[in-house]
Structures are given as structure tokens and as C-alpha cells.
Amino acid sequence: MTARQRYRSKMRICYDMLRVIQEEGGEAGPTRILYGANLSYERLKRYLAELIEKGLIEEVERDGKRIYRLTDSGRMFIVHFRKMTEFAKAFGMIL
Amino acid sequence: MGLHAFFVFDAFTEFFSALTAIFVAYYSLRAYKILEDSRMVALNLGFSVLGVGMLVHGAIKVRIALAVLSGVPVPPARRLPLVRLGYTLAFATELAAYALILLATIKRPPSMETTLLPPLAAPLLEYDFRSEALLAVLALLIAVKAGIGYSQGESRLAGLVSLGFALLSASHFLLVFGGPLKLISADVARLLGFACLLWMVIRVSRVGA
């Protein structure tokens, strides 16, 4: 990881979390999101609450375990984030 | 190319460029809302200023063209106060826009506000040598910055931005060094430059689709 890439914006972290859930087939447990998005437990809790509040994911319970499911809004966010990242990169901006 | 055709083509390129710049500005705003990166605000402001300046310049050109085409005797258009005012406005907005776009794309900008802004106390003559050279260099710097991103493989679309600004730079250089066909050549280069930017935005809109 380069010095430039060390800092991740809040939106980048949200995107990374959503991407992990998407790669898991649209549903993922907290541990998988924590490792996949490289977060501390405290930050994971905070960002999960924020993603739920924004309607990008929803919390469901299955076999007594909490899992997080990507919503349609979450899928749209991933697509838009990728588009805008490409747009920024086209101007030589590193996000 | 006849006088009528030239006026129509010149106005077309000006309005096409203006609308493309406003379209890119709109995309920058969308990018800011999603990425929450303040550099997008500078990019948005830069392209907005560029678009509005070109729209006003285009409108002035149309007004002068209509006067010329209707047979009203006018002195050489280049010396008309309205043309000088329009060009000065276009120059000021392009300078501000290029500086903002450059600032948005580099990490530690130099103090351009103090070094690049020329005195604008009097309206400039259209296609003034120094002002066009300055705009050409700024556009070239943006092209080089995007070109570096392209060469490092960070984005294939950076190639379009680089080519677009290289063509915009060429259009300004043509006005400085060009021969008799310099106005038409510069218009064509600018048209192609903005077409590259438009194509880049269209390609972005297809990402993930």
C-alpha cells in the first residue's frame, strides 16, 4: 500500500463494505465484512449502522446469526461509485 | 469556406464546447456528491466557468455575425468593443477554468493565483498573443497530468482527457502561430478536444452498465 493509498475516505470505506457483501453473493456476516473491508470492530459497527440508516443494506437474522443484505440502493451506490471513480481517475486524481 | 459558413461553424464549435463543458461540470457535481472529494468542487467550478464563458462569447459572436451578414457596415470585428469585451471575458473564464482544473488534478498546487493572472485592466484584442499562449500552456499542463495517469495505467479514460486538453492547447497555439487558416484550424482542434471530453463522460456513464 503506497503512502497515497493509506487514507481512505468515508465513502471509500462504505464502498469497500458494500463490495465485500456483493462479492459474497449479496449477503455477508459482520466478520467477513470486517476482514474484507479491513476495519476495526468499532468502525465496523459505526459504518454498518450508517449503511442501514441510508438504506444501502439491511440487517436480517438467520439461524440466530446476524447477516447484512445488500439492497437495490446499495447495488446502485456501487455502480455509481465505480463510475465516479473512473471519472476522477480520468483527470489523474487518485482517490 | 465562405463567410456565412465560417460564422455558422465558429458559433457551432463555441456552443458545442460550452455545452460539453457544462455537461462535464454536471458530472463533476455528481462525482462530488458520491465521492465527497473536495477536488471535484474545483473541477465542477472550473468546467462551469468555462461553459458559461463560452456561452457568452458564443452569443456575442452570433450577434456580431448577424450584424455582418445583414450587411450593416461594421469596422474590423476584432476591434469592436463588444468583441473585445467578449474575448476578454472568454479569456478570463478560460484562464480561471484551466487553473481550477489544474489545481483539482495536482496534489500541491503552486501559487498560480499570483503568477498567472495577468492585468485585465483594459479589454484584450481578440486572440491576443500572450493570453492565447498562457491558455495553451495551462491546457498543455492538464494534458500532461492526465497523460501521466494514462501512462501509469491508472485509467484508460485519462487518455481521452489528455488528448482532449492537448487538442485544446493546440487550438490556442494555432491562434498564436497559425497561418491564414488559423481560425478554422483552431475551431476544429477545439471541437475535437471537447468531443474527446464528451466521449470520456459517455464512456464513464457506461461503466458497470
- Listed in order, strand segments (DSSP E) in chain B are none
Q: Which residue has the higher pLDDT, B126 or A44?
A: A44
Pick from A78, A87, A91: which is nearest to B105 by CB? A91
Q: What is the pLDDT of residue A27?
A: 92
The CA R_g of chain B, rounded to the nearest whole Å, is 17
Q: Letter for the amino acid at A12?
A: R
Which residue's C-alpha cell is 487553473? B99
CB-CB neighbors (< 8 A) of A14 in chain B? none
> Which residues in chain A are closer than 8 Å to B40, comparing Cβ atoms?
88
Q: CA A21, CA A68: separation in Å to the nearest integer? A: 8
User: What's the confidence (pLDDT) of residue B159?
Assistant: 93
- pLDDT at position B52 is 92
Counting residues of chain B whose pLDDT is more than 90, the rounded percentage is 34
**Stretch (H or E) spanning B176:** helix B157-177
Compute the residue count for chain A.
95
Mean pLDDT calculated for residue range B167-184? 82
Compute the distance between CA of residue A13 and CA of residue B119 in angstroms, rounded to an integer: 46
Q: At what angle do helices B3-35 and B39-69 cross, to 10 degrees?
A: 160
- A3 touches B at CB < 8 Å: no
Instruction: Select the residue of B35, B148, B203 nearest A95 (Cβ to Cβ).
Output: B35
Is A83 in contact with B154 (Cβ distance < 8 A)? Answer: no
Q: Which residue has the higher pLDDT, B23 or B182?
A: B23
ipTM: 0.79
Task: Summarize pLDDT for B50-102 with one digit per residue, the tens.
Answer: 999 989 888 888 887 777 777 776 666 666 777 788 888 888 888 888 988 88
Give me the pLDDT at residue B23, please.
Answer: 95
Q: Which of A91, A94, A95 to mutate to test the interface with B (most CBs of B within 10 A)?
A: A91
Contact call for residues B101 and B142 (beta carbons, < 8 A): yes
Distance from CA of A30 to the nearest CA of B (A): 24
A85 touches chain B (CB under 8 A): yes
- C-alpha distances in Å from residue B13, one per residue of A30, A39, B18, B42: 54, 50, 8, 25
Q: Of B138, B118, B171, B37, which is closest to residue A8 (Cα–Cα)?
A: B37
**Are the Cβ atoms of A88 and B204 closer than 8 angstroms?**
no
Q: Under 8 Å CB-to-CB from A66, ≥6 apart: which residues?
A: A29, A30, A59, A60
Closest partner residue to B31 (CB to CB) among A87, A92, A94 is A87
DSSP state at residue B71: T
The secondary element (H helix, E strand) that includes residue A67 is: strand A65-70
Contact list, B39 vs chain A (CB under 8 Å): 88, 93
Q: Strand, coil or helix: what is B117? A: coil
Per-residue pLDDT band for A78 (boundaries 50, 70, 90) equals very high
Cβ atoms of A31 and A44 within 8 Å: the answer is no
Decide if A59 contacts A52 (C-beta within 8 A).
Answer: yes
Do B64 and B82 touch, CB atoms closer than 8 A? yes
